[in-house]
Amino acid sequence: MSKLPMSLTPSPVPQPSLPVDGRQSPNALKVRRGTCRLLRQLGFSTLPEVGLASGRRADLVAVGKGGEIWIVEIKSSLEDLRADAKWPFYRLHCDRLFFATHPDVPLEPFPEEAGLILSDGFEAEILREAPAHKLAGATRKSMTLKVAQLASSRLHLLEDPEAGNVELPVW
């Protein structure tokens, strides 16, 4: 038996669970789940809620095996789409930009300048491909490093929630 004081004895290993920050509606979380499943089938790794150098926050960033970076903006209602005037700025941080929504949202208002994904929470499909606009090398490197560090930090917090939540700087 250890001679450490009770306060220094290791606590049981917590079971991992993803943090919920409360900004997303239940519909948005369902759209995200189905969209992430689709992107995984396409060979992408995904990370939600990524701060960008512009100060904006991407709902979902996906990195492909070849380094291609996609951003997916999740819209859970028509009001959510209409209130979003910032979506063109996401193009500065990705090779392709998509919107993702669920079957109860009309599809016609979504801009043609971005791809469109329809998700029912279990699976998803790309209804419209996003136009490609290749990132500059420095931006690609910055985004890739941001995603890697943020994903690693989140994984560490799942494993060791007592480590504290240190937000990474936005580049």
Work out whether strand 96-101 and strand 115-119 pair parallel, antiparallel, or are unpaired: parallel
Chain mean pLDDT for the chain: 86
Residue located via tokens 């279990």: 122
**Mean pLDDT for the stretch of residues 93-102:** 97
Of residues 11 and 107, more confidently modeled = 107
pLDDT tops 90 at residue 154: no
Residue 166's pLDDT is 60
The answer, yes or no, to whether residue 3 has pLDDT greater than 60, is no
* Segment 10-26, tens digit of pLDDT: 444 444 445 555 667 88
Kindly state the average pLDDT of the residues 137-157: 92
- Region 24-163: CATH code: 3.40.1350
State residue 168's pLDDT score: 52
| Domain residue limits, the chain | 24-163
Is the separation of the CB atoms in 170 and 51 below 8 Å?
A: yes
